[in-house]
Amino acid sequence: MKLPFFNKINLHISIHTVIDVVILLLVCLIIFNLVRNSLSAKPNKSEKSKRPISAKMVHIPGGTFTMGSPVNEKGRLGNEIQHQVTVSSFYIGNYEVTQAEYKAVIGETSRSVYSESDLPIGEVSWFTAVEYCNLLSRKEGLVLAYKIIGTGDNRIVTWNRNANEYRLPTEAEWEYACRAGEITEYSTVPTMGRSAGGWCLVDAKPDIVGQKSGNAWGLHDMHGNVGEWYWDWYGEYDMTDQTNPTGAVYGTNRVVRGGFWYSSIQSLRSAYRTAYFPYSRGGAIGFRVARNEF
């Protein structure tokens, strides 16, 4: 006679137990989400510094390569003497800074005659390129790469190599990244365009960035489009084995690499070197950015 009564009690207890467990699980889930969101909103600084902020950058693994060109390479110049160079891992833009990217950081377009948003920036001086890097770093809360003293053509620029920053690549980094393991004249086939005689003139302006095939490391427009500013003062190579070289101690010209959209085919080679005054604003000179690996 008492069995149904006890069954009701047991059922009653079981229902309350299930409800308590469900409530406990919900509370735990809420606490877990609050903790996870808090961690996401305030990432660890050391972890944040290890990843590139720009989604348009490519990680380049460090290594040793032969910089320069062999004596039998067609179009070779005397400033391309081969030597061994070791480069640490770094990040580099997978294409040149565009007009749109430049405007977003600088606040205005360049003085180039072409201004379409997806074309590479042109007609910018080396000084403007380093200022862009600093402004982009400041915009993303990074330590600045460069300290700039003075104004005009007499500015003095020093590079804090330990900063976690946007910066210009070095000449050695560029050639290493451009070759992507290749030892031939080009890491991709340059586009010859419509003109004859070994010249690459297609139109009176460069191409949209990233339209041509990239090299083995996913880098575009390494041979042609616009020439690119690099950190180094131009000078003769140091023929000893080098690790992360940064060019001559001092000079009058800064290195420009990659050739131009109107260059001869020989001037688009991976080893080709040229240089300009840092205040020059050639319509065919732009740049791409790099960052240290942290």
Range of lowest pLDDT (25-29, 45-49, 100-104, 140-144)? 45-49
Q: Are residues 61 and 152 in the same domain?
A: yes
Q: Are residues 287 and 179 in the same domain?
A: yes
In a domain, 141, yes or no: yes
Q: Are residues 148 and 253 in the same domain?
A: yes
Q: What is the tens place of the pLDDT at every residue in 96-118?
A: 999 999 999 998 877 777 878 99
Q: Are residues 30 and 79 in the same domain?
A: no
**Domain assignment of residue 22, given as a range:** 3-38
Q: Are residues 81 and 130 in the same domain?
A: yes
pLDDT at 46: 32
Q: Are residues 165 and 238 in the same domain?
A: yes
Read off the pLDDT of each residue in 209-231 and give the average, rounded to a whole number.
Answer: 92
Pick 196 or 55 by higher pLDDT: 55
Q: Which of 214, 222, 244 lies closest to 62 in space, CA to CA?
A: 244
**105 Cβ contact partners less than 8 Å away, ≥ 6 residues apart:** 132, 135, 136, 139
In a domain, 48, yes or no: no
Q: Are residues 140 and 26 in the same domain?
A: no
In a domain, 43, yes or no: no
Q: What is the tens place of the pLDDT at every residue in 157-192?
A: 999 998 888 999 999 999 999 999 999 999 987 754
Helix 126-139 and helix 99-106: axis angle, to 10°?
Answer: 70
The two structure tokens encoding residue 206: 């460069």
The average confidence (pLDDT) of the chain is 82
Q: How many domains does the chain have?
A: 2
Residue 285, pLDDT > 90, answer yes
Q: Are residues 78 and 24 in the same domain?
A: no
Q: Are residues 19 and 119 in the same domain?
A: no
The enclosing domain of 270 has a CATH number of 3.90.1580.10
pLDDT at 49: 34
pLDDT at 211: 86
Q: Are residues 30 and 73 in the same domain?
A: no
In a 13 Å sphere around the CA of 286, the CA atoms on its Cβ side amount to: 32
In a domain, 150, yes or no: yes
Tokens 């862009």 label which residue?
132
Q: Are residues 146 and 30 in the same domain?
A: no
Residue 193 and residue 264 in contact, taking contact as beta carbons nearer than 8 Å? no
Residue 78 and residue 271 in contact, taking contact as beta carbons nearer than 8 Å? no
Q: Are residues 25 and 157 in the same domain?
A: no
Read off the pLDDT of each residue in 248-275 and give the average, rounded to a whole number.
Answer: 92
Rg for the chain, CA atoms, rounded: 27
For strands 285-286 and 83-87, give the pairing: unpaired
Read off the pLDDT of each residue in 79-101 and give the average, rounded to a whole number.
Answer: 96
pTM over 0.85: no
